[in-house]
Amino acid sequence: MPILVGRKTRAIVWGITGNQGSFHSKLMKEYGTQIVAGVTPGKGGNIVNDVSVFDTASAALETTDANSSIIFVPAPFTKDAAMEAIDAGLNPVVIITEGIPARDAMVILAYAKQHGTIIVGPNTPGVITPGEAKLGIMPGEVFKPGTVGVASRSGTLTYEIAQSLTHSGIGQSTCLGIGGDPYTGLNFVEVLKLFRDDPGTTALVLIGEIGGSAEEEAARYISETDYPKPVVAYVAGRGAPPGKRMGHAGAIITGTEGTAAAKIESLTSVGVTVADVPSDLPRILEKQAPPISH
């Protein structure tokens, strides 16, 4: 049983008429995801990739039974799209868009919390449950069905690690990016909770990076709750200098806070094995939880 996204996912795509939205809605459909509608204001009545486009979410919901959403609209329009999706009762809301104003992100997250809606992102590659469905932009072929949950702050590094797991015969239950921005919805702790309650997940991989305190909070949660499943990790940015944004808006060391060393230390201290290089992860996983492989 997956988390967040699966066979029962029926998604509305915001921005389906744009470049990214139309390209990826096609790929999501090909992967097996049910894309039931698109929303683009002013483009209602069009058809994109055999999917009907509506002007608003309420119009889309009159004729479809959507339950999830994914947002590709440009940053200036993301707050409106996300709030509309939350109001429409869609859950989760996956926000692919990068570079949205921090104050907009804060409003979206606060509004989602009031409504009990899970936000994945912004600035995320999305969520994939291998073999079932994906709401995101990740290449489906590097993933394979299995029982290891993967949560990451990055995109391509996640594909890199998923591919090395797949090549070692280790399949994944669900993989998701929590987003590379300073303000994101789901954080590692919330993902840990979801995976804990998922009987289809037997072990977890966390892929962290410099900046913020998501990894430290995850470590605290693992230790405080005596987390029942093995967790292994990789943290990117050991070689990053302080004060410079390493591509992601959230990946910045401020003063002595947010360094890779501090994150590795807090994860290690609660029994999480942190890999030195990404390709060590499959071997470490096999040692920690032998039955997950092959």
Q: Which of 8, 30, 47, 247 binds other proteins (CB under 8 A)?
A: 247
Scan residues 125-144 and list those touching other proteins (CB under 8 A). 125, 137-139, 142
Among 24, 167, 248, 294, the active-site one is: 248
Q: Copy the structure tokens of residue 276.
A: 């030195």
> String of b and e for 249-286 (b: at least 16 CB within 10 Å)?
bbbbbeeeebbbebbbebbeebebbbbeebeebbebbb
Least distance from other proteins to the Cβ atom of residue 110, Å: 4
- Kindly indicate which of the ranges 2-10, 59-67, 158-166, 197-205 contains the residues binding other proteins, using the contact rule CB under 8 A: 158-166
Confirm whether 294 is a catalytic residue: no
Closest to other proteins by CB, 239 vs 290, is 239
CA within 13 Å, CB half, 212: 23
| C-alpha dihedral sign at 51, 54, 56, 61 | negative
Residue 221 binding other proteins, by CB under 8 A: no
- Give the integer Cα–Cα distance in Å for 13 and 82: 11
Closest to other proteins by CB, 54 vs 183, is 183
Q: Copy the structure tokens of residue 19.
A: 């470049």
- Kindly indicate which of the ranges 34-42, 55-63, 202-210, 221-229 contains the residues binding other proteins, using the contact rule CB under 8 A: 202-210
Q: Is 30 helix (H, G, I), strand (E, B) or coil?
A: helix
Walk across the sheet containing 68-71 and list its strands: 47-48, 51-54, 34-39, 10-14, 68-71, 93-95, 119-120
- Kindly indicate which of the ranges 42-50, 127-135, 196-204, 239-247 contains the residues binding other proteins, using the contact rule CB under 8 A: 239-247
- Give the integer Cα–Cα distance in Å for 118 and 211: 23
Q: Which of 240, 274, 289, 292 binds other proteins (CB under 8 A)?
A: 240
Catalytic residues: 248
Q: Contact residues for other proteins (CB under 8 A)?
A: 75-76, 99-103, 106-107, 109-111, 114, 125, 137-139, 142, 152-160, 163, 180, 182-183, 207, 209-210, 212-213, 234, 236-241, 244-249, 251, 260, 276-279
